[in-house]
Amino acid sequence: MKKFFIPMVMVASLLSCTNSIKRHPSSLKNSKFMDILNNIDNAVQVGTTDVYECSTKLNQFYKDLYNVDSKSIELANFSKEQMDDFVKTSFLIRLEIKEKMKVLKVSDAASKSCLTSIKNIVRVMRYLEDYFVELSHQGNKAGNINYTTLEGNDTHFVVNPNFNFSSHKDLMSGDVILSRGNAYSSAAIARIGDDDSQFSHLTLVYKDEKKKLYTSEAHIEIGNVVAPIKVHIDQKNARTVVFRMKDSKLAHEAGKYMYDFTKAYKKKKKKNIPYDFSMVYQDDSEIFCSEVIYHGYKQASKKLYSQDMDLPLYKTKFKPGQIKFLNRIGIKVNKKNIDTFDTFGPGEIQFDPRFEIVAEWRNPNKLRDSRFKDAILTKIFQWMEEDGYNFRPTFGNSIGHSFAWLMRRSSWISSLASLEEKFPTNMTVKQMNLFVTLDKVGEALYAELDSKEKIAKTPLSFKELFEVLEDFKKRDYATYKKYKAAKRSLHRLSGRELNRARRKLVRPKFHIKFRK
């Protein structure tokens, strides 16, 4: 039986397939970080076909990597060359993980646990790469370098050696672009499923007969649209990964189908296909971003091979503690159907064996921002699940505030102004109020992380970010309780005494808008 457990293969294991990296970064020697990697490497050499052993070992390795903080990893001691070496090596490792995953069959709780553990290892490896990319570009703190999506000669842009890909010009019909937006709502989408992800958006590419590139994609603000590839490239998202279907004929048909379908809908109904807040991917009357991929490949497969193609291989499930939040977004999940309800979370495409990773690009200017927001939303969902926290939009979030949020967060609105795009008519004020509240809570938590990292003078690990957020939550909750008690006593006061008491009130940073 072929062994599928390959959580991390060190450089020596990769020499047979690439000459890109031939050594470890030398400054890793005799460090805690290197000890952990060696332990993982030794386990990989043995391998396993036992799904229980897979999840047990991977979970331990994940904990070991999670417990490496900014001090023990000694990031500041690395040269740029060493950091680049690590990023290239780690990327090749992840390619090998994806290749080995092809023989993994998920059929029960044990194999699902193994899959979850693999997802966790892939995620933590990518974050370690982020750290090195972020650190190696710290000379650009002012953002003077204007990075172009899917271009570059540095390790923020890495390419699978099996593909010839140098820029977005090498995209093909049917290519799937997996990306991470820059808003708190994007971070929420990335974290919304039962397994954390680092991505919030999927886009389908189409190359017409004149070799012009277009995208079909769905956005909360405007619904489903077709646009020139430049519009997507100009978003300069935090991270962008290109995936390619092996069957090029099927891929082209998928890209063409969604391009034609979206254009025809707009021509007939004089509006965009509405955004699907319910995330029911089987119905194309409304479409969210992952549905563009789902319906494109489903219809293409039906046309070419007379059979449906079901994407992704592994579906996204939800947690019970998220139900109230999910309902406010528009997802019709409840205690009765939560075990059977599934959807197509954007990040699931990276674990579908029918798609190959072509290239991965990061925006060094936005990695810190993305790291903070990922940590924030991870904690927000954890607090909802474990502590019963929920968002509490206030009456002050008027429709004016809501549309201001909509305009502020979407450069698509201005980018597509000439195409006469409209705000989605199916987006309610209640939904926008939720997103406004999410932004305000997120900004309060972000400010705390920003302050603590500036004091540390080095990028904080996720363990450290989580510790900061937990401490802040504890202190802010104490402030909230004092604030509520003080407000209750105001009814006994009047005149100047009341005004003085009101001025002395200390409001909590976020517990008025997000609490149990």
- In angstroms, the Cα distances linking 41 to 13, 46, 52, 68 are 9, 9, 19, 17
Residue 431: CB atoms within 10 A of its CB come to: 17
The Cα–Cα gap between 337 and 199 comes to: 25
Structure tokens at 209: 């007969």
Cis amide leading into 312 (omega within 30): yes
The Cα–Cα gap between 332 and 317 comes to: 13
Longest dimension (CA), the chain: 82
Where are the domains positioned within the chain?
Answer: 1-136
Residue 145: CB atoms within 10 A of its CB come to: 12
Residues in the chain: 516
Amino acid at 123: R
The Cα–Cα gap between 350 and 311 comes to: 11
Which tens digits make up the pLDDT trace of 79-93?
888 888 888 888 988
**Which residues of the chain fall below pLDDT 70?**
1-34, 37-38, 40-48, 72-76, 139-143, 395-426
What's residue 267's pLDDT? 94
What's residue 42's pLDDT? 65
- H helices within 306-366, ranges in order? 323-329
What's residue 73's pLDDT? 67
Which tens digits make up the pLDDT trace of 468-512?
999 999 999 999 999 999 999 888 888 888 888 889 999 999 999
Amino acid at 240: T
What's residue 90's pLDDT? 83
